[in-house]
C-alpha cells in the first residue's frame, strides 16, 4: 500500500509539475527567442502613433510608443507576420496608424490622382508644343535675334562657339 | 509701461497700413501723385513702428515680465539670455508679429529709394503689398495679440486680455512656462527667420504681378516682370535656406537618421518653393520671347496662395486635425484671406486676358522654350502630388470622416520618378537654343556624358546594385551633372583660348560676366550633388538597434561600436533638462578605436532631443544614437547614411549659385541701361 501511495503521489506531483511548466511556457512562450529590435523597428516603421502626430513608431520615444513596440515584439514572438501585425493595429486604431495606406476606396484618389494629373497636364503640354510648333508664325518671320551686342570680344566668341555646337 | 508703448506702436502701424492702402488706391485711380507719395510715406513708417513693437516684447522677455501673457508662455527665469531674445518668434502670437515685421522690412526696402520703376505700377504695388501687410497686422491685433496681459478675476483664476476686464486685478506669475525645448537649438533659432523671410518675400512679386494687372499697360510689361523675377529670386533664396537649415536641424537633433520626413509642415513650405522655382524658369521665356504671360501670372498667384496656405497650416495645425482649425483663433481669417486672394487674382487674370497674350509663338519642339514648358509641367505635377499627399487627410477626414497618415513611403514612390525626369531635363534643357534646335545637335552635345553615364550604371550593376530606382537615379545624376560641367568647361575654354587666362581666372571672369547663366549652372550642380545624397540615403541607408551591456559591441557595415557605459547630468544654465550621455568606442574596419558620445536630452515639460554622434566622411555618415540605459543595458541605435554629406555640400553650392545669380550688377560687369520709365535692365549677355 505504501508503494502504491508513493507511486500515486509521484504521478500526481509529476502531473502537477508538467501542468505548471506548461502553463508557464504558455504565458511566456519562448523566453529565449526575444525578437531583435531591428525586426521590431522594421514593423514599427510602417506604423504611426496617433498621439504624436506624424512621427513613425520606430523613432518615437513616448511611453505609448514604447509600449506599442513591446506589443509588436510580442506579436513577432508569437510568429505573426509583419503584415498581420500592421493589420492588428489598423483594426484597433484605424487607418490613421498606417504610414502607407493601401489602395482602397478612401485612398484611390491619392494613388491615381497624381497619375491622372500628369496624364492630363502631359497631354495638354504635348498638344501645346506640337500645335504651336506646327503652325508657322504669321506674317513676316520674326527678326533673328542678334547676339546681344555686348561689345565684348569674349562673349561673342562664346556665343559663336555655342552656335557651332548646335 | 513699456508694453503699452509696443501696443501703441502696433496700433499706429495698423493705422498706417490702412491709410496707405486707401491713399494708394485713391491716388492710383485718380492719378494723384501726391496721394501716392503720401501712401509711400505711410508705408515707410510701418517698419520703425513694428520694430518698436518687437523690441518691447523682447524687453519684456528679457525682464521676466510674466504679467505679459506671451512672456509667460515662452520664457522662464532659468532660460539663457539669447533664448529670451529669440523667443520673440518662439510662440504663436510673437511669431505672427515677427512675420509682419519681416514683411514690413521688404516693403521698406522696396519703397525707401525713389521709385525707379514704371510710374503706373507704383500705387498698385503699394496697395497690394500694404494690403498683405494689413492682413497680418489685423491678425496680430485682433486674433493673436502678443500684448495681452494676465489678470486675476474675482474667483482668483487667471485670464488673458489686452485691456483690464472689469473686476480683475493684474496678475504676475512667479515664473513662466519656458520655451518649447525643441526650439532651443541654434538651428531652430536661425531656421524660422529664414523661412519667414522666404515666405513674406513672396508678397513683393505678387504685388508687382497684381499691379501689372490692376494698373498695367503694355509699356509696363518689361518692368514688372523684371522686378518680379528679382524679388522672387530673393525670396526663393531665403526659402531655400530655410528649408535646407530645417533639414539639417532635423538631422542634427531629432534622431531619426533622416532630414526630411514629408511632414505636412515641411511640405507646406516646400509647395511655394516648387511653384516659385517653376516661375523662375518660365519667367525667362517671357523676358526673352514675350510668351507665357498668363502662365507666369498664374504661377505667381499660385505661389503666393501656397505661401499663405502654408502659413495658415503651420499656424493652425489644421492638417494634423481638422478640429484644431476651430480651436485656433487664426483659422477663419486665414481661410477668408486665402479665398479673397484666389478669387481676386483669378478675376483679374481673366479680365486682363488680352493684355497677357503672347507676342510670339513656339517655333520648334526642340527649343529652350519647350524645355521650359516641360520644366513647368514637371514642377506642376510634383506640386500637385505634394499638395495632394499633404492635404489628402484633411479632405478624407472632412468628406468621409477617415483620418489618414501619408508617410514618406507614399511620397517617395510618387515623387521619385518625377524628380528623376526633372533632373534629366535640368541637364539637357540648357543645351537647347532659343527658338530652334535639333535632336541631332542635342545628341552630338550629350553623347560623351551619355556614354559615361551608361558606363557608371554598368559598373554599379556589376558591383551588385540591382534596385532600378538607384540605377536610374545615379545614371541620370551622372548624365545631367556631366553635361552641366561640360557647359561650364566650354565657356572657360573659350576664354582661355581667347585671352590666355589661367583656368581659375577664366572661370571666375566667365561667371562674373554672365552671373545669371552661370549662377544657374552652379545651382544645377548643387542640385546634382544633393541628388547623390538623396539617392544614397533613401535607397541605401542601413540601421540597427541593440541593447548592450558595458563592453558589448554591435557591428554595422565596417563599423564596430562598443558600449562603454553612460552618465547623466543637469546643466547649470538649464535646470529643467537632464542629459544622458552614452560613451562608445568606434572602430572602423578593425582600426584603432575612437571615442564618441551620443546623448539624449530629456525635458521636465516632456519631450526632448536625441542628437547623434556623427562620424562624417564624403562616402557616408556613421550616425549613432544613445536612447538611454535601463537595467544594465544601454540602447544604441546606429545608422549608416551613404553619401549624405553630398546633400549638405550641394546645399551650400546651391546657395552660392543663388547668390551669384542675384548679386546686384557692379560697374563693368553689366551694361546698365536706364530707359525712361523702366527699372535698370540689361546685365551683360542676358
| Mean predicted lDDT score pLDDT of chain B | 87
Residue in A closest to B392 by C-alpha: A110
CA–CA distance, B351 with B365 (Å, rounded to integer): 30
Reported as type and span, the H/E element at residue B127 is helix B122-138
In this predicted model, which residue has the larger pLDDT, B477 or B119? B477
Quote the pLDDT of residue B216: 62
Q: What's the Rg (C-alpha) of chain A? A: 36
Smallest Cα distance from A9 to chain B, Å: 42
Distance CA B677, CA B27 (A): 18
Provide the 3-class DSSP secondary structure of residue B483: helix
Q: Mean pLDDT over residues B285-309, rounded?
A: 87
Q: Residue A98 has what pLDDT?
A: 87
Write out chain A residues lying below 8 Å of B389, CB-based: 110
- Residue tagged 513591446 (cell numbers): A70
* Burial of B472 per CB tally in 10 Å (0-12, 13-18, 19+): middle
Model confidence pLDDT, tens digit, residues B52-67:
999 999 999 999 999 9
Nearest CA in chain B to A116: B381
Residue B75 CA to residue A22 CA, distance in Å, equals 59
Query: Of A35, A38, A50, nearest to A89 (Cα)?
Result: A50
- Range 609-668 of B in CB contact (< 8 A) with A: 610, 627, 635
pLDDT recorded at residue B680: 35
How far is residue B500 from each of residues A161, B268, B291, B627, measured CA to CA in Å? 17, 50, 40, 60
Helix or strand holding residue B392 (H, E): helix B368-400
- Residue-wise pLDDT tens digits, B98-152: 999 999 999 999 999 888 777 888 899 999 999 999 999 999 999 889 999 999 9
Reported as a pLDDT band with limits 50, 70 and 90, residue A135 is low
- What percent of chain B has pLDDT above 70? 93
Least confident of A43-52, B261-270, B621-630, B638-647: A43-52
Residues B136, B678: Cα–Cα separation, whole Å:
31
CB pair distance less than 8 Å for A114 and B544: no
Q: Do A129 and B402 touch (CB under 8 A)?
A: no
Of B657 and B221, the structure prediction assigns the larger pLDDT to B657
Q: Residue B322 above 60 pLDDT?
A: no
Is some CB atom of chain B closer than 8 A to the CB atom of A99?
Answer: yes
> Mean pLDDT throughout B488-506?
86
Show the CA angle centred on residue B653, arms to residues B649 and B655, nearest 5°: 120
Residue B630 has phi, psi (to 5 degrees) of -145, 130
Partner-chain residue, chosen from B384, B392, B608, that has the shortest CB–CB distance to A117: B384
- Grid coordinates representing B513 are 560676366
pLDDT at B364 over 90: no
What does the pLDDT look like over A1-49, one tens digit per residue?
A: 455 555 555 555 555 555 444 444 444 444 445 678 888 888 888 888 7
Dig out the grid coordinates for B335 from the structure. Answer: 481661410
* Cross-chain residue pair A61–B498, CB shorter than 8 Å: no
Q: Specify the pLDDT at position B445.
A: 83
Q: What's the rounded Cα separation, in Å, for the pair B642 and B646?
A: 9
Note the pLDDT of residue B592.
Answer: 93
CA atoms of B10 and B15, how far apart (whole Å):
9
Torsion of CA B394, B398, B404, B410, to 10 degrees: -50
* pLDDT for the residue B121: 86
What is the DSSP track for B536-595?
Answer: HHHHH-EEEEEEE-TT-EEEETTEEEEEEEEEEE--TT-TTEEEEEEEEEEEETT---EE
d(CA A61, CA A58) in angstroms, rounded, equals 8
Confidence (pLDDT) at A136: 52
Q: Which residues of A touch B410 (CB under 8 A)?
A: 99-101, 110
**Chain A contact probe: residue of B372, B382, B404 with most A CBs at under 10 A:** B404
If one compares B666 and B302, the residue with the highest pLDDT of the two is B302
User: By the 8 A CB rule, do B309 and B338 touch?
Assistant: yes
B419 contacts on A by Cβ (under 8 Å): none
* pLDDT tens, position by position, A60-95: 777 788 888 888 999 998 888 889 999 999 898 888
**Whether pLDDT at B426 is above 90:** yes
- The complex scores an ipTM of 0.79
- What is the Cα–Cα distance from B640 to B636, expressed in whole angstroms? 13
Q: Which residues of B touch A110 (CB under 8 A)?
A: 388-389, 392, 404, 406, 410
Alpha-carbon distance B364 to A134, whole Å?
8
CB neighbours of residue B248 within 10 Å: 16
Grade residue B462 by pLDDT with cuts at 50, 70 and 90: very high
Cell 526632448 locates to B608
Question: What pLDDT was estimated at residue A153?
Answer: 55
Residue B525: all three cell numbers together? 550642380
Q: Is the pLDDT of residue B217 over 70?
A: no
- For B531-575, the pLDDT digits (tens) are 999 999 999 999 999 999 999 999 999 999 999 999 999 988 777
Of the candidates B193, B197, B191, B221, the one whose C-alpha atom is nearest the C-alpha of residue B209 is B221
CA B318 to chain centre: 20
Please state the rounded mean pLDDT for residues B189-196.
89
Give the torsion through C-alpha atoms of B105, B106, B111, B117, to 10 deg. Answer: 170
Residue of A49, A52, A129 best to disrupt the B interface, most CBs of B under 10 A: A129
B110: Cβ contacts below 8 Å, ≥ 6 apart = B125, B129, B204, B231
Q: What is the pLDDT of residue B399?
A: 86
Name the pTM for this structure. Answer: 0.87
Distance (Å, whole) CA B101 – CA B99? 5
- Which residues in chain B (361-420) have CB-CB distances under 8 A to chain A? 361-365, 370, 373-374, 377, 380-381, 384-385, 388-389, 392-393, 396, 400, 402-410, 414, 418
Query: Looking at residue A163, what is its pLDDT?
Result: 53
pLDDT digits (tens, 9 = 90+) for B379-414: 999 999 999 999 888 888 888 888 888 888 899 999
Cross-chain Cβ contact A162/B490 below 8 Å: yes
Check whether B219 has a pLDDT greater than 80: no
Amino acid at each position: 500500500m505504501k508503494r502504491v501511495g508513493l507511486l500515486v503521489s509521484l504521478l500526481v506531483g509529476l502531473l502537477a509539475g508538467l501542468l505548471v511548466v506548461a502553463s508557464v511556457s504558455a504565458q511566456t512562450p519562448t523566453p529565449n527567442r526575444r525578437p531583435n529590435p531591428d525586426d521590431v523597428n522594421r514593423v514599427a516603421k510602417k506604423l504611426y502613433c496617433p498621439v504624436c502626430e506624424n512621427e513613425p513608431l520606430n523613432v518615437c520615444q513616448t511611453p505609448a510608443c514604447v509600449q506599442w513596440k513591446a506589443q509588436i515584439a510580442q506579436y513577432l514572438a508569437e510568429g505573426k507576420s509583419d503584415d498581420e501585425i500592421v493589420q492588428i493595429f489598423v483594426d484597433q486604431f484605424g487607418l490613421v496608424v498606417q504610414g502607407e495606406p493601401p489602395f482602397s476606396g478612401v485612398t484611390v484618389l491619392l494613388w491615381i490622382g497624381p497619375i491622372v494629373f500628369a496624364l492630363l497636364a502631359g497631354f495638354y503640354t504635348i498638344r501645346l508644343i506640337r500645335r504651336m510648333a506646327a503652325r508657322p508664325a504669321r506674317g513676316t518671320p520674326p527678326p533673328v535675334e542678334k547676339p546681344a551686342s555686348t561689345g565684348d570680344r569674349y562673349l561673342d566668341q562664346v556665343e559663336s562657339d555655342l552656335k557651332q555646337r548646335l | 509701461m513699456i508694453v503699452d508703448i509696443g501696443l501703441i506702436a502696433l496700433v499706429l502701424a495698423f493705422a498706417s497700413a490702412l491709410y496707405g492702402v486707401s491713399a494708394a488706391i485713391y491716388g492710383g485711380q485718380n492719378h494723384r501723385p501726391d496721394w501716392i507719395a503720401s501712401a509711400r510715406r505711410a508705408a515707410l513708417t510701418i517698419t520703425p513702428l513694428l520694430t518698436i513693437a518687437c523690441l518691447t516684447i523682447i524687453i519684456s522677455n528679457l525682464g521676466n515680465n510674466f504679467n505679459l501673457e506671451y512672456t509667460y508662455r515662452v520664457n522662464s527665469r532659468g532660460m539663457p539670455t539669447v533664448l529670451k531674445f529669440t523667443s520673440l518668434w518662439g510662440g504663436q502670437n510673437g511669431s505672427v508679429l515677427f512675420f509682419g515685421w519681416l514683411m514690413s522690412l521688404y516693403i521698406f526696402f522696396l519703397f525707401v529709394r525713389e521709385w525707379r520703376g514704371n510710374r503706373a505700377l507704383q500705387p498698385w504695388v503699394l496697395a497690394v503689398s500694404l494690403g498683405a501687410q494689413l492682413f497680418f497686422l489685423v491678425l496680430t491685433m485682433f486674433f493673436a495679440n502678443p500684448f495681452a496681459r494676465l489678470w486675476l478675476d474675482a474667483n482668483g483664476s487667471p485670464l488673458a486680455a489686452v485691456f483690464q476686464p472689469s473686476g480683475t486685478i493684474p496678475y504676475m506669475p512667479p515664473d513662466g512656462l519656458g520655451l518649447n525645448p525643441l526650439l532651443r537649438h541654434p538651428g531652430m533659432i536661425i531656421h524660422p527667420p529664414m523661412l519667414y523671410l522666404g515666405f513674406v518675400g513672396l508678397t513683393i512679386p505678387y504685388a508687382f504681378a497684381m499691379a501689372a494687372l490692376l494698373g498695367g499697360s503694355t509699356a509696363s510689361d518689361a518692368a514688372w516682370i523684371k522686378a518680379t523675377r528679382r524679388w522672387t529670386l530673393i525670396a526663393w533664396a531665403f526659402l531655400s535656406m530655410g528649408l535646407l537649415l530645417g533639414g539639417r536641424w532635423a538631422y542634427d537633433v531629432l534622431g531619426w537618421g533622416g532630414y526630411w520626413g514629408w511632414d505636412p509642415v515641411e511640405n507646406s513650405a516646400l509647395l511655394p518653393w516648387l511653384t516659385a522655382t517653376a516661375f523662375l524658369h518660365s519667367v525667362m521665356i517671357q523676358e526673352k520671347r514675350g510668351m507665357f504671360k498668363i502662365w507666369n501670372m498664374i504661377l505667381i498667384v499660385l505661389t503666393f496662395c501656397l505661401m499663405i496656405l502654408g502659413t495658415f497650416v503651420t499656424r493652425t495645425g489644421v492638417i494634423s486635425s481638422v478640429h484644431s482649425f476651430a480651436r485656433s483663433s487664426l483659422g477663419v481669417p486665414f481661410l477668408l484671406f486665402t479665398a479673397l486672394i484666389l478669387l481676386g487674382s483669378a478675376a483679374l487674370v481673366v479680365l486682363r486676358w488680352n493684355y497677357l497674350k503672347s507676342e510670339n509663338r513656339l517655333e520648334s519642339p526642340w527649343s529652350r522654350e519647350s524645355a521650359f514648358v516641360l520644366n513647368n509641367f514637371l514642377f506642376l505635377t510634383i506640386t500637385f502630388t505634394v499638395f495632394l499627399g499633404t492635404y489628402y487627410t484633411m479632405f478624407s477626414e472632412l468628406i468621409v470622416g477617415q483620418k489618414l497618415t501619408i508617410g514618406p513611403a507614399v511620397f517617395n514612390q510618387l515623387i521619385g520618378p518625377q524628380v528623376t525626369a526633372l533632373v534629366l531635363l535640368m541637364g539637357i534643357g540648357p543645351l537647347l537654343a532659343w527658338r530652334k534646335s535639333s535632336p541631332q545637335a542635342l545628341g552630338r552635345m550629350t553623347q560623351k556624358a551619355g556614354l559615361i553615364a551608361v558606363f557608371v550604371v554598368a559598373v554599379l550593376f556589376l558591383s551588385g546594385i540591382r534596385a532600378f530606382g538607384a540605377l536610374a537615379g545615379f545614371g541620370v545624376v551622372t548624365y545631367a551633372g556631366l553635361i552641366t560641367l561640360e557647359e561650364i568647361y566650354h565657356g572657360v575654354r573659350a576664354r582661355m583660348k581667347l585671352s590666355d587666362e589661367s583656368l581659375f581666372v577664366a572661370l571666375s571672369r566667365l561667371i562674373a560676366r554672365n552671373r545669371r547663366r552661370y549662377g544657374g549652372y552652379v545651382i544645377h550642380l548643387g542640385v546634382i550633388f544633393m541628388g547623390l545624397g538623396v539617392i544614397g540615403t533613401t535607397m541605401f541607408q542601413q540601421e540597427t538597434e541593440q541593447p548592450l551591456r558595458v563592453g558589448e559591441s554591435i557591428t554595422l557595415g565596417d563599423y564596430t561600436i562598443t558600449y562603454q557605459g553612460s552618465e547623466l547630468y543637469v546643466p547649470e544654465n538649464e535646470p529643467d533638462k537632464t542629459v544622458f550621455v552614452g560613451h562608445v568606442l568606434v572602430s572602423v574596419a578593425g582600426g584603432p578605436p575612437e571615442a564618441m558620445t551620443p546623448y539624449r536630452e530629456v525635458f521636465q515639460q516632456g519631450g526632448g532631443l536625441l542628437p547623434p554622434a556623427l562620424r562624417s566622411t564624403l562616402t557616408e555618415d556613421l550616425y549613432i544614437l544613445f536612447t538611454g540605459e535601463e537595467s544594465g543595458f544601454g540602447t544604441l541605435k546606429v545608422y549608416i547614411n551613404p553619401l549624405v554629406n553630398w546633400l549638405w555640400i550641394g546645399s551650400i553650392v546651391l546657395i552660392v549659385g543663388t547668390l551669384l545669380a542675384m548679386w546686384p550688377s557692379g560697374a563693368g560687369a553689366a551694361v546698365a541701361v536706364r530707359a525712361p520709365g523702366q527699372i535698370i535692365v540689361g546685365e551683360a549677355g542676358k
